Amino acid sequence: MVPGISHRYSMVKRYGRIIDVLVSNGFGYFVDKMGLRSMGSVRSRVKGRFGREQEKDTRPERARKVLEELGPTYVKFGQLLSMREDLIPLKYAQEFTKLQNDVPPFPFEDVKAVLKTELGGDIPELFSDFDEKPVAAASIGQVHKARLHSGEDVVVKIQRPGIRRIIEADLDIMYSLAGFAQQHIEEIKLYNPVAVVDELSRSIHSEMDYTQEARNIEHFLSNFENDPVIVIPRVYNDYSSDRILTLEYIEGIKCNKFEKLANENLDREKIATDVSEAFMKQVFEHGFFHADLHSGNIFALEDGRIALLDFGMAGHLSEDMRGLLVDALLAVTNGDSTQYIEVMRDLGVADEKLDVRSFKVDYDHFLFKYYGRTLDQVDATEVSSEMLSLLRKHQIQVPPNIALLFKGVMTVGGFAMQMVPDFNVTEIAEPYARKFMKKRFSPRNMAKNSSKNLWYVSRLLS
């Protein structure tokens, strides 16, 4: 078959599969609104023809099942969306957190081929030992333990062969479906599905570039170089590429293994505190933060130190942006909706199209819960989630790094409460925020700050 024709046939077949899965999970109504029913199988063209399908599961549950049935790349898309409550409704984001990487490993022959292509040698030339069985497999890649000829134990993350081509094809389809949905379905248009796919595309391309993750790790290594608690794995650049990432092997206990932590006399409250402290240093001191600090990415070491892993999702905040974010939090605790809107505009989040009157009504209702509280009395995880819902309701598009920060706060807060149910991560954040703002309003820096922010000083320094 001619390559171009073969590709078109494959795409049509994939569209048909997606239509069938949507219809079988009770989304035939949306398929009809987009005018795509004819692309499905005969069964899909018949099912639900005369009305909306009745299903016992909720719509978010059925959406999760659609992603699971469509396979690993769609599961990955769903996992990324679960981190973006600014893009999709909260119920969907929460449901998508249940998506699991139930992906079989790719054959060892493919592993050897990728290593040969990327690093220019066979396994015996590159490593003195290399485990054929991966320690983990996911939709984009898998991880093998190995040993260098110099004696260091390492882990080697290898990208799944052909995954870039598959993801590009699926993104093309998602852009097409998002365009249909945005044009024909009013209840979906609100969420700007094309912009959602834009963000998915940006995130997935970043995650597929292992050189970007290596740069992130080098940045974290520099920031925590002399830290007595936090351990960052070393990158072996000579054994890495954009499809292979070789890192120092770190022996530790995943922090969701409570029984093992207890057996090693490792204090869960200390772990929660150390991880929260590390995150606040990243945000307020470094301006570069790990956005996915869940228990699977955090190891407790037997000497009491903490190792952070998986640096594919990281965000950057300039000093000005950090200041504005603290301004926003203080506007919440001070009950000043006008000041909050000004901060949002300075951040580039709110534009002139914003219906200020409508937003203020909802925002004042939100503020009622937090007015008069000090920073250490505010649950940052709860505030972040509610704020994202409010911004999404008013179609305020959050810049990627701000969205990552919200996600990072919620993730580290969730981790800390998993370790200690009544843990309040904001109590850890409060002294870092105060230290940052004292520096910001020092005599040297005062001239750089506009007069509209000066009302914070007496409140902050009291």
In whole angstroms, give the CA distance from residue 245 to residue 236. 8
Other C-beta atoms within 10 Å of 132: how many? Answer: 11
Non-local (6+) Cβ contacts of 356 within 8 A are 341
Active-site annotation, residues: 292
